[in-house]
Amino acid sequence: MNKITKDSKIYIAGHRGMVGSAIRRALTAKGYTNLIGKTSKELDLRHQQAVIDFIDTEQPDVLIDAAARVGGILANNENPYPFLMENLQIQNNLIDAAHKAEISKFIFLGSSCIYPKFAPQPLKEEYLLTDSLEPTNEWYAIAKIAGVKACEAIRKQYGKDFVSLMPTNLYGPHDNFDLKSSHVLPAMLRKFHEAKANNHAPVSLWGSGTPMREFLHVDDLAQAVLFAVENVLPEHLYNVGTGTDVTIKALAETIQNSVGHTGEIIWDATKPDGTPRKLMDSSKLRSLGWAPKVALDEGIVWAYKWYLENCNT
């Protein structure tokens, strides 16, 4: 296995997205100088031969898969086929090309939605495939489960350092604020901001507000990826989360206060809540030395600041 140094070539698939750009920032800050990335126009990761040719030419020492088609409940519900197929294509092409090119370190990023809807809380890695998934995002979850198992199979059969990191709900710079495809936290930020600008108009939010969710700042995930780059982790699958969760109602109130909106919040109970609770047990990764640092209220302030600076572009 090649020793990773500051001039090792590291390819970040999805380097311009929220997760990929955070990983790039973290690696650069730590002194890594040989980072490569391609935009989706330069390299369509859904096309197998294009990915094979790119990996064969570049021969990176490390491949980090932060590329995916992502979205919230609405986007998943309305686009089941592309959420399944495009994610399978992207990750399968990257995993197989990395394996065939003899790349020894591969870091696969997934999501906490891989775990069963009604699994015991907090979610442990061993709960994978023990029950049925949340129906509103099972297409994305099934694709990500396939990626986890592919990396596990390569690790088991060939002894390569292929590891999967499963983050909880992420937020931060370069998030998606499109109300049709975004996740709950950035969608709320935008809704409260626009309502504030509209004379503090009422804000309508999905569901009852009672489900509980855990949120991790993307910079904390980037530090977990950096940890995986610099260490050989003993197992194939690790949860990445804060270990604490809040109700959606409490999240909304925190965001409302951060934005400065003083109008009414209306909960639309005709819309789905999704999984009742989704708290992750990240003790395995914590026991190895990683820990999150960004508190949720502080992270929301940072995220809103970034949104204000970039919402027009």
Record the pTM. 0.94
List binding-site positions for substrate: 191, 206, 213, 273
- Say yes or no to pLDDT of 240 above 70: yes
Q: What type of residue is 249?
A: K
3-state SS, residue 71: coil
Beta bridge pairs of residue 246: 213
- Say yes or no to pLDDT of 84 above 70: yes
Give the helix/strand (H/E) hosting 239.
strand 237-240
Q: Is residue 267 part of a domain?
A: no
The CA distance from 229 to 30, in Å, is 12
How high is the pLDDT of residue 312?
A: 84
Cβ contacts of 226 within 8 Å, gap of 6 or more: 23, 26, 27, 30
Beta bridge pairs of residue 169: 215
Please choose, from the candidates 62, 99, 221, 235, the residue with its C-alpha nearest in 3D space to the C-alpha of residue 163. Answer: 235
Q: Is residue 2 part of a domain?
A: no
When pLDDT is averaged across residues 197-218 and rounded to a whole number, the result is 96
If one counts the domains in the chain, the total is 1
Q: Is residue 90 part of a domain?
A: yes
Catalytic residue among 115, 140, 171, 238: 140
Render 127-194 in DSSP notation, one character per residue. GTTSSPPPGGGHHHHHHHHHHHHHHHHHHHHH--EEEEEEE-EEESTT----TTT--HHHHHHHHHHH
Least confident segment among 22-26, 128-132, 180-184, 282-286: 180-184
Q: Is residue 150 part of a domain?
A: yes
Q: Clarify whether 140 is annotated catalytic.
A: yes
The CA distance from 169 to 221, in Å, is 10
List binding-site positions: 14-20, 109-112, 144, 167-170, 183, 191, 206, 213, 273
Q: Is residue 147 part of a domain?
A: yes
Render 256-293 in DSSP notation, one character per residue. HHHHT--S-EEEETTS---SSEE-B--HHHHHHT----
CATH number where 34 lies: 3.40.50.720
Structure tokens at 311: 């919402």
Measure the CA angle with vertex 216, ends 211 and 221; round to 5°.
Answer: 145
More confident residue, 13 or 70: 13
Structure tokens at 182: 């975004």
3-state SS, residue 10: strand
Q: Is residue 257 part of a domain?
A: no
Write out the residue range of the structural domain in which residue 151 sits. Answer: 10-175+215-243+279-294
The CA distance from 43 to 26, in Å, is 23
Beta bridge pairs of residue 254: none
More confident residue, 3 or 52: 52
Q: With contact defined as beta carbons under 8 Å apart, do 185 and 303 qualify?
A: yes
Give residue-wise pLDDT tens across range 276-294.
Answer: 888 999 999 999 999 999 9
At residue 1 the predicted structure's pLDDT band, cuts being 50, 70 and 90, is low
More confident residue, 117 or 107: 107
3-state SS, residue 79: coil
Q: Is residue 204 part of a domain?
A: no
In angstroms, what CA-CA distances link 158 with 104, 109, 152, 301? 10, 20, 10, 45
Q: Is residue 109 part of a domain?
A: yes
List binding-site positions for NADP(+): 14-20, 109-112, 144, 167-170, 183
Q: In whole angstroms, what separates CA 189 from the centre of its chain? A: 18
Q: What are phi and psi of 269, to 5 degrees?
A: -70, -10
